Amino acid sequence: MNKSNLHRRTFLRGAGVSIALPFMESLLPRSSWAIEKVSRLHRLAVVSVPFGMVLDEFHPSKAGSDYELTSTLQPLSKYKSDFTVFSNLDHGVRGGHGANHTLLSGIKSTERATFPDGNLTVDQRAAELVGHRTRFPSLVFWQDGMSYTRTGVRVPSIDKPSKAFRLLFVDANEKERKFERDGLVSSGSILDAVRTDAKSLNTQLGSEDQAKLEEYFNSIRETEKKLELAENWIDQPKPKPQGASLKQVASGARDEKIGSNLVDTWLDLMYLALQTNSSHVASLAIGNCNWGLDGVIDSYHALSHHGQREDKLTQLAVVEKFLMGRLANFIGRLKDTKQADGTSLLSSTQVLFGSGLGSGSRHTNENLPIILAGGGFKHGQHVDGQNKQPLCNLYLSMLQQMGAEQDAFNRSQGTLTGLA
């Protein structure tokens, strides 16, 4: 076997392991973080839509705190002081649907090699910060393709509410727990073998390849930590939320394809995941669907290609106001939920809404529709990033609010100016 074949074969083998394992469920026992003050338990909830918004009906015309809500934002009026709406923020990328996946990172997957953290998304960076405290470091619901680890791995989604319910709230039996333990042991053995093989190459590599190998070792070490933490949760009982509607979710009756029902169900599950401390990072990517709303007959994707046709815009207005209404309900539930220290769950939860497309009709990735609620920020304003601040400036501000000691995130040029 020649040197080049060994080099290539080992790294393909290593990449296979790193792809397979980043999503292992990991957590410290509850007792390790229960003593922390509730106010320190930062959370992040992301809701993304795939086809942009009708921007003229989304972005306010005036910046500042005395702006008027647009027609699309009207359902959020009760919580105007709890959120900030942004305009003229984007990542400076192009590609239409092909760049939609950059919403949470600013980096196309094909360009990740040129950035220190690859195309790491803000939700997965948040999971690195706080994921060790919960059974699930992060949760991705409905559609995948929006969340990526720093190694460029796309985080798979939980695509059905019934699957999410079982994962979050149904305890495994002894046979399933044994299978999970055996899987952790097997994964650890594979990591040992790959690390041994990779170390044998170190003396044969140039300085650039040695740096790549060190990055790979760091990935292995992080995965080993996750494996150790995951074992602590195997025998920990899961929370048992109550409610008649949850019985329908558990049975699979809410796994239907009607978009309006799916949005309600997924937001319920996201709220429960945060409220029960099952995870402190949850992302919901809404997929293409038929809505089941009065007056709406076309699919979401078909409506996004409205071409300024009045019948399409009328239907789309119904859909977008519905989404804002459900976002308002979600914000309201977080605000009404009190933590042990008397503060609201919203005060420690950043709620991000957005799309990687600005206008679905024009397929542009400019001037993205973005809302941020809660999380301890002072809200109640419209921030116009007319000086072309990168959207990653907002993400850096969010991460610093969560305790990240970093001064850059992907395309950021600093924290976002104008964010109260």
Amino acid making up residue 407: D
Using 50, 70 and 90 to split pLDDT, how confident is the model at 23?
very low
pLDDT tens digits along 370-416: 999 999 999 999 999 886 789 999 999 999 999 999 999 999 999 99
Flag whether pLDDT at 224 surpasses 70.
Answer: no
Query: Which residues 6+ apart lie within 8 Å of 167 measured at CB?
Result: 136, 158
Give the CATH number of domain 36-170+241-401; options: 3.40.720, 2.40.10, 3.30.1920, 3.40.50: 3.40.720
CATH 1.20.58-classified regions of the chain: 1-31+174-237
Q: For residue 8, is pLDDT > 60?
A: no
Tell me, rounded to whole angstroms, the distance of Cα 113 from its chain centroid.
Answer: 21
Task: Read off the pLDDT of residues 319-349 as tens digits, 9 standing for 90 and up.
Answer: 999 999 999 999 999 999 999 889 999 999 9
Task: Give per-residue pLDDT as tens, 135-154.
Answer: 899 999 999 899 999 989 89
Residue 361: which pLDDT band, with cuts at 50, 70 and 90?
Answer: confident
* Whole-number Å distance between alpha carbons of 375 and 56: 27
Model pLDDT for residues 62-90, shown as the tens digit of each residue = 999 999 999 999 999 999 999 999 999 99
CATH code 3.40.720 region(s) in the chain: 36-170+241-401
pLDDT in tens, 108-120: 999 999 999 999 9
User: What is d(CA 175, CA 181) in angstroms, rounded to the nearest whole number?
Assistant: 10
For residues 42 and 290, what is the distance between their CA atoms, to the nearest angstrom? 35
CB distance 25 to 133 below 8 Å: no
pTM: 0.80
Q: What is the CATH number of domain 1-31+174-237?
A: 1.20.58
pLDDT band at 288 (very low <50, low <70, confident <90, very high): very high
